[in-house]
Amino acid sequence: MARPALAPPPARWLLPLLLLLPPPPGALSLGLYSPDDPLALLGADTLERSVFGSPSAWVVEFYASWCGHCIQFAPVWKELARDVQDWRPAVMLGVIDCADTTNQKICSEFKITGYPTLKFFKPFSRNQDDGVKFLHNGDGIQSLREDIIRKVESCEDAWPPACPPLEAFSAAELHSFFQSNSVAYLALIFEKDDSFLGREVTLDMVQFENIAVRRVLQSNEELVKAFNVTTIPSGLLLYSNGSCVSIPVPGDSRALYTSYLRRLPGVIRVNTFIPTVQPTEEPKTTTPAFWKVADRKKLYMADLESAILYTLRVEAARFLFLDQERLSVLKQYVAVLIKYFPGRLIVMNYLRNLDHWLGPRTNVTQSEWEEALRNKRERPYARLPESPNWVGCQGSKQQYRGFPCSLWTLFHLLTVQEAVQSPRLFSPSEVLPTMRGYIHYFFGCRECAEHFEGMAAESMHRIKNKDSAVLWLWSRHNRVNARLSGTESDDPRFPKMQWPPQILCWSCQLIINGRRMWDERAVLRFFKSHFSRNNIYLDYMTFERGRYGRDIEERDVKAEGNLEEGGEENRRGAEEEFEGDTRRTEKPERGKEEKKPSGSDRSGASEPRKPSIIKMGKTAKARELEDDIVDLDSFSEQHYKSKALKAAPQASDRNRRSRRDTGLVPMEGEPFDYDAVWERLKHKGLGAQQIMEGEVGGEGGTSRRRSQWFHLLGVGFSQLDVSLCILLYLISSMCLFGMYTFFRMRMRHRKGRPSFPLA
């Protein structure tokens, strides 16, 4: 199908119209791209308006600003946009940040289930289904550029009006070319059949008039012989008066061809194409307006709840339908959260309601899921935060840390809580399979999901108990940190490192015979301490107000922990009484209302924020449970005091000797300097074989240490060991004394007999 060499006059009218378009209102949002980049920053209110009905072919990248692969791909996409910016308006490039809450709905409508996703829209597209997923051959500029050309060539039924023809030139077209087209020059580029040089140069000259560029294939022997072409690739410049000269460009340099043709006399740019996004000044500050100062030794409930919020309201809400394996994984994920997440009671009620709603369903539409996730007024004591709030996972920029950091934190917490609550030796973990299923079906960064699936398929089946699950997730997290360290997704303010660092657990890292090693026992002790319930803080959280002016969040995370310690029966009883309390319609007695202390967190207040005592109705079930409820005011005071005394037992733990199985594993990732630690060990008289160890016990990861009674020749003996030795000594002495008495009596008896020989 032959096309004219230049766009017809109606297509010329489209360019001024594009120049008059105002900047899209949603294009000024900042993610991984800025308005200075030569591409369109699209939003929920501009995507459809820009793409649908457009005379241009569009290639749109759907990305998430937190996605590690998106962060690494952004420089490539920017470079591609600069490389093909002269192809406009025939081909347009755009981006949209699906991590922005305002864009989540539109990304879901375009069926975006992973990031980054490239979609090609042919000219005059009408709906989301017209977008074709851009399965590019690689992330290099050359491969992406060639894939775009292939997509444009496939637009047989809707050719971009501003784009000249890209098919091979024929001898029949040559005879009447200048009569049909009012141009001064015709540039012929002779190339191999699989070469893209001619098509790239053709698109580079889209914005220039008075010249046409066509490609001639090496297999076209008629034209090759007619112009006596002996070198491939090469170029010829034909004038309208019939003369012909060789284009003095050696090799296949696209840039040299384009530069030569643009400098020809009479060849001018039609109009300098103005981007559809007006450049705006990028914010000077790289940190958020309100920087939350976080302590790396703490866990923050804000991060954990934000991870749950994002997994349910963003990740799971991307799909138009939830059914079969995906719905089964979602049910399992919610069930694991209910079982092991030590959250506030208001959040746990929300999860239980969601689990009850999901139970009988076999198919859930997107609208049904969004309705089920909505906070409802009729359930004031069952709510999720409305928006994410990163504290310990806050990054120096919007694209750093955030959701991936909080998701790792959440699953580390769940594995530890599972090991603490059900420490049976050979019971398999249910948290790790749930995490694997969630990442496989829901995690937006598809390259990250594939990496995790590879690690899981490699060794997850060999995990036999809960403690091994904790260590497996720890080691795989460090492997990911080692792989991503120093990449574009690495926050320069919080560089990825092998965790835990020395400042948090100096006994976890050792040097044995010049080799850096992890002490797995020390790591396990640290994890059970760091990811315990008592280490979760409510800093920087906002509490919503209830009907009677009270905080809706009236239960601290420790309150929920106290209920769980009473067993599942106590939990159900507390829930029944809680529901009864919320259904009460009579007004509370004003004289009995609790006074809330000032300050919303522990770090910002002059005094520690004490959680309120759990109120329960005076029913039979409540009176039955009343003796088991802990006064959280006094409990929190004891907790704060115990935090200050925590260093004392740790000092004695550092001097414990190792067992035969040391539990040492080599370190992955960046090196550490252990000279100071090794000198301290030698100063205390400990050698390479004397590795510190301890027994892990107690909920929350606290260590129960056996006191050493005395030392003899460098070997420590406990009181039990000495008692057993004394007991055995007494028993052996009694046996020896009995044998001595028996033989002595027997000798006397034989001496008294007449036949016994006398001396």
| Active site residue ranges | 67, 70
Name residue, tokens 């100062």. 293
**Token pair recorded at residue 179:** 């009569």
Phi and psi of 65, rounded to 5°?
-65, -20
DSSP H helices in 84-161: 104-109, 141-153
Where does residue 67 fall: left (phi above 0), alpha (psi -120 to 50 degrees), or beta otherwise?
beta
Q: Which helix (H) or strand (E) holds 96?
A: strand 91-97
The Cα-based distances of 348 to 336, 341, 568 in angstroms read: 12, 8, 14
- Three-state DSSP at 155 gives coil
Give the separation between CA 392 and CA 339, rounded to whole angstroms.
24
**Cβ distance 83 to 460 under 8 Å?**
no
Q: Which residues of 176-211 are buried (b: 16+ CB within 10 A; e: fewer)?
A: ebbeeeebbbbbbbbbeeebbbbbbbbbbbbbbbbb
* Residue 230 near residue 204, CB atoms below 8 Å: no
Neighbours of 654 (CB within 10 A): 15
CA distance to 710, 712, 713, per residue, from 730 (Å): 21, 21, 24
Q: What are phi and psi of 136, to 5 degrees?
A: -75, 155
Whole-angstrom Cα distance, residue 563 to residue 442? 32
Distance, in Å, from the CA atom of 242 to the CA atom of 178, rounded to the nearest integer, reads 9
The sign of the CA dihedral 347, 353, 355, 358 is negative
Structure tokens at 280: 């705006």
Helices (H) and strands (E) in the chain, counts: 26, 20
- The interaxial angle of helices 403-421 and 431-441, nearest 10 deg, is 160
Residue 481 and residue 404: Cα distance in Å, rounded? 12
Close Cβ partners of 52 (under 8 Å, ≥ 6 residues apart): 125, 126, 127
Non-local (6+) Cβ contacts of 191 within 8 A are: 197, 198, 215, 216, 217, 218, 232, 233, 252
* Sheet bearing 57-63, strands edge to edge: 40-41, 91-97, 57-63, 117-121, 132-133
Q: How far apart are CA 94 and CA 244, in angstroms?
A: 40
Cα-only R_g, the chain? 37
